[in-house]
Amino acid sequence: MVRKKGPVWKHFQIINNGNSSHPHVRCKYCSKEFKRAIPERMQDHLDKKKCQELNNTGSQSRQQNIIDNSDNCLSEEEQKSLETLLSKVLPSSFKLPNREVVKMHINDNRDSTFSGIRHLGYCYQHGIEIEKNEIKAFELYKEAAEKGDIDSIYQLGYYYQHGIGTEINKTKAFELYKLAADNDHIISIYNLGKCYENGIGTEYNKIKAFELYEKAADKGHVISIYKLGQCHEDGIGTDINEIKAFELYKEASDKGHLDSLYQLGECYYYGIGIEKNEIKAFESYEEAAKKGHIISIYKLGQWYENGIGTDINKINAFEFYSKAAGKGHIDSMYKLGLCYKFETGTEKNEIKAFELFEKAADKGHLNSIYELGCCYKYGKGTKKNKTKANNLFEKAAEKDHLDSICELEYCHLLEIGTKGKAFKLLVKAAEEGHLGSIYQLGCYNKYGIKNRIKAFKLFEKASGKGHLDSIYELGCCYQNGEGTDKDEFEAFELFEKAAEKGHLDSIYQLGECYNYAIGTETDEIKAFKLYKEAAEKGHIDSIYQLGEFYNYGIGTEEDWIKAVELYDEAAEKGHLDSMYEIGCRFKGSWTAFWNFQDAAEGGHLDSIYELGCCYQNGEGTDKDEFEAFELFKKAAEKGHLDSIQKLVYCYKYGEGTEKNEIKAFELFEKAAKKYHLESIYQLGICYQNGTGTEKNEIKAFELFEKAANKEHLNSIHELGCCYKYGKGTKKNEIKAFELFEKATEKCHHNSTHQLGICYQNGTGTEKNEIKAFEFFKKAAEKGHLDSIYKLGCCYLLGIGVKGNKLKAFELFVKATEKGHLDSIYQLGCYYKSETEVEKNKIEAFELFEKAAEKGHLDSIHELGCCYKYGIGTIKNEIKALELFEKAAKESYRDSIYELGFYYIFGIGTEKNEIKAFELFEKAAGKDHIDSMYQLGECYYYGIGTEKNEIKAFESYRKAADRGHLNAKAILSFMYI
């Protein structure tokens, strides 16, 4: 297979042996040739040699120009002024004896006319003591050149070559350089060599180029000495002679040429013309760096970072990168950004890293564009912005930056389309075997266009060549049966393979396998160790999962403090589940509120729901039912079933919105269709009670049965009630008992209570008061109020346990404190009667009043009796009558009987014997013994009805049979 050529190759022209892995190539910018192409050296040339060579050439050409254009044909004052001006414009980094040369040329006796015109052109060129005007400078150089001034001929060639003050004319430039070179103008000889080397204004001629560099070098031109070294190193116009190249670099460096000093370091490092010696290479870079050579400063940073030619010193590396970056060196800006990103020689600072990547990216540095994209993608040093990230990756991808191509998200690839350049490059790179591109193409197919089979094949191809991300994704495919048959054992092996090579997602996933028995047996200790390993390397999901293990004591000892620390660490990294978990651990506090709020802003549905609960209950914030409603609505619209439930209650009870039972019913119906068991149950309640729909006990029964078959406890209980009372189905007390028993086994406290009632009354089973007591006690211990009350009744009446009125009292007090109405009533009865506690009629009255206000019938009746007899309050027959009437309307027997007495004697109302008779008759029909006796009296004496001794006898007999003493006494006389 043909080996893939990376991005560096596009900057070189293949001269021959194109099919070879290492063909003969030439740089497109400077015609440097490599007879055996090695990408590392080619990249080094692009990054270091070409740019510094061109910069150096330009600067030294300008310097030589300044030198050669100096003249002695000025006044002494003008000579001093010119010397000062020239010294100012000479770069301070130029290490040749510039000032001496300037003086030499100032003292050079040449034609004063030519030199004066040339000097004036130079002033216009650089804006010395006059406004800069390159066109005027061009005209002056041209005038002097036409009069035979050699320096001006050179300068004119330079202007034509670079289009200064005129249009570019490389042919004209070549001709002028040649004319000046023929007159031994050193810079022109050098520039003419460049023209032949690079085909500027003439045909390529490497041999002539070499001869010209050699000629200028012989005349002491330092850059030409350096350039001659390059010719010998790369075989430009001559045979390769690395020893000669080394000697020339050394000669130029001894004359202060910094690029040659740097190149000397390269020779020592690569063994070019000299034995490889990293220590000497380091010393050469160090010497050049001390003199301000930027690339050498950068190189020192690299060597200190990697320990080449010196000991590893990350701090020194950081300092050198920082120094070079400060001088505008782009690669150093990038490396400095990496130092801040990975804590190399300095503290981690993602904001500074971001700023440096941004600065270098603005200058077109591809790796920095890529890193900047990563900053936006993962929110490092800036806010997450996937759009900006993808735009940056796309920008670098268009320049063949493969890492950027691979970072383009599948969703962005979908957006830019398969016809986009980035996508085409991705496909091309994948076809050429670039593993990252094959992987990314797999992700595009898996998550983008949903072609799982193709995705599987691509992951399989890349994983076969050891690509870790692909091995992981292939494991996921086998685990979930995506694009292939499900095979958890194969998935486990793949995760294990990638985990062994340090792939964090695979280490985490392997932990999941051991935790949930995916392709292996459950091993919580191994799972814990794997989560810990990945967490220590910063894997956010593992940090969260480790928190879960410490929280619940899975695979390690329970440590709630450690769990919270881990949740907090993951939450700070933006992990939404961790924010939610912290919120849950501190429910009711402002900490919970803020964590739910942060996670909710990230779209975490459970947190949106919990935030709604915070506003609903005023936990960690002010109560705001309207805000709660909006949050429940937001989550409900995204299918969050618990939020649908809450929204239902809002509509049902008018919390944060108008009461709308129909809307509540519709929401229950919507969630029930999604098989949400609680909603199926609640829908049954709606049908049972006719809430938001017509009452339909049969549908209610069917819904309870549907949810009960899925083990929904409330529905099992409610189904038992349907069978117990015959609601929506035939009454079946045995079936009811079985359902209560089933739910009790799953700790459903209402069913435990009902099971106690079944045993107490013998409903669906044999009567067993001891078991009844046990079940009431079991539910009471879990806080079930009705069971606490029933337990009190057991102790009060000795049901299934020895009677203990004091214990009963304590239980009624406990339930009363939680608002249990029957217990409030019983407590009132304790205080009303002299039992095991001190009699307190006022306390009794207040307790009856409290329960009566909430509609408790027994208490309403007892409150009426308090007003009737003046117990704990002032006697008030009218209030007593009102209370008896209120309870009587609810068919309360004792109140019906009392109301009859009030009407028969006209107490608190007008006397009405007919009404009294009707009331006694109604209460007697409910087996009220005193009312049976009073009904007999009415028939016997004709009170409110016609006199009828037969009916009177029957009523007395019914009352006597039930133990009424007066009725028995009267019957004894009637039998005589």
Structure tokens at 18: 């194109």
Q: Mean per-residue pLDDT for 239-260?
A: 94
Kindly report each contact of residues 665-672 with a partner whose C-beta sits within 8 Å and lies 24 or more positions away, as own/partner: 665/691, 665/692, 665/693, 666/692, 667/636, 668/644, 670/644, 671/641, 671/644, 671/645, 672/703
Q: Mean per-residue pLDDT for 483-508?
A: 95
**Residue 915, domain CATH:** 1.25.40.10
Q: Give the pLDDT confidence of 453-479 residue by residue, as tens digits.
A: 999 999 999 999 999 999 999 999 999
Rounded to whole angstroms, the Cα distance separating 685 from 688 reads 5
Neighbouring residues of 949: CB distance < 8 A, sequence distance ≥ 6? 939, 940
The count of other CB atoms within 10 Å of the CB of residue 745 is 10
Torsion of CA 555, 558, 560, 564, to 10 degrees: -10
Structure tokens at 442: 């797999």
Instruction: Tell whether 371 is covered by a domain.
Output: yes
pLDDT at 310 over 90: yes
HEC letters along 16-46: ECCCCCCCEEEECCCCCEECCCCHHHHHHHH
Instruction: Tell whether 637 is covered by a domain.
Output: no
Rounded to whole angstroms, the Cα distance separating 544 from 566 reads 6
pLDDT at 354 over 70: yes
Which of 612, 608, 610 is CA-nearest to residue 600? 608
pLDDT of residue 440: 83
Residue 769's φ and ψ, nearest 5 degrees, are -70, -30
Q: Give the pLDDT confidence of 821-875 residue by residue, as tens digits.
A: 999 999 999 898 866 677 899 999 999 999 999 999 999 999 999 999 999 999 9
Neighbouring residues of 59: CB distance < 8 A, sequence distance ≥ 6? 91, 94
What DSSP string runs through 768-808?
Answer: -HHHHHHHHHHHHHTT-HHHHHHHHHHHHHTSSS---HHHH
Which of 31, 30, 3 is CA-nearest to residue 15? 31
Structure tokens at 814: 């406990």
Rounded to whole angstroms, the Cα distance separating 959 from 968 reads 8
Express as a percent the part of the chain with pLDDT over 90.
68
Rounded to whole angstroms, the Cα distance separating 659 from 625 reads 13
12-16/33-34 β-pairing = unpaired
- Helix (H) / strand (E) element for 877: namely helix 877-889
pLDDT of residue 664: 86
Q: For residue 401, which amino acid is it?
A: H
- Range in 3-17, 128-142, 162-176, 425-439 with the lowest mean pLDDT: 3-17
∠ CA 23-27-32, rounded to 5°: 90
Instruction: Tell whether 515 is covered by a domain.
Output: no
Rounded to whole angstroms, the Cα distance separating 73 from 118 reads 12
Instruction: Tell whether 279 is covered by a domain.
Output: no
- Asked whether 505 and 472 are in contact (CB, 8 A), the reply is yes
- Asked whether 649 and 617 are in contact (CB, 8 A), the reply is no
Distances (CA, A) of 358 to 23, 336, 385: 37, 12, 14
Q: Single out the residue in 799, 818, 837 at which a domain terminates.
A: 818
- Asked whether 95 and 258 are in contact (CB, 8 A), the reply is yes
Instruction: Tell whether 385 is covered by a domain.
Output: yes
Q: For residue 739, which amino acid is it?
A: L
Q: Give the pLDDT confidence of 897-939 residue by residue, as tens digits.
A: 999 999 999 998 999 999 999 999 999 999 999 999 999 999 9
pLDDT of residue 424: 76
- Helix (H) / strand (E) element for 15: namely strand 12-16
33-34/24-27 β-pairing = antiparallel
pLDDT of residue 30: 58
Q: Single out the residue in 818, 838, 873 at which a domain terminates.
A: 818
Q: Which domain holds residue 913?
A: 891-975
pLDDT at 635 over 70: yes
pLDDT of residue 251: 95
Instruction: Tell whether 776 is covered by a domain.
Output: yes
Rounded to whole angstroms, the Cα distance separating 576 from 567 reads 10
Neighbouring residues of 495: CB distance < 8 A, sequence distance ≥ 6? 472, 475, 506, 509, 510, 513
Which of 67, 174, 71, 165 is CA-nearest to residue 125? 165
Q: How confident is the model at residue 106 (pLDDT cuts 50, 70, 90)?
A: very low
Instruction: Tell whether 771 is covered by a domain.
Output: yes
**Domain total in the chain:** 3
Q: Give the pLDDT confidence of 57-77 residue by residue, as tens digits.
A: 333 343 333 333 333 334 444
Torsion of CA 857, 859, 860, 861, to 10 degrees: 90
pLDDT at 393 over 90: no
Q: Is 907 left (phi over 0), alpha (psi -120 to 50) or beta?
A: beta
Distances (CA, A) of 771 to 713, 775, 778, 797, 800: 22, 6, 10, 15, 7
pLDDT of residue 966: 92
pLDDT at 509 over 60: yes
Distances (CA, A) of 487 to 465, 494, 808: 21, 11, 62
Average pLDDT, the chain: 87
Instruction: Tell whether 387 is covered by a domain.
Output: yes
Q: Mean per-residue pLDDT for 632-637?
A: 90
pLDDT of residue 48: 57
Q: Single out the residue in 791, 818, 845 at which a domain terminates.
A: 818
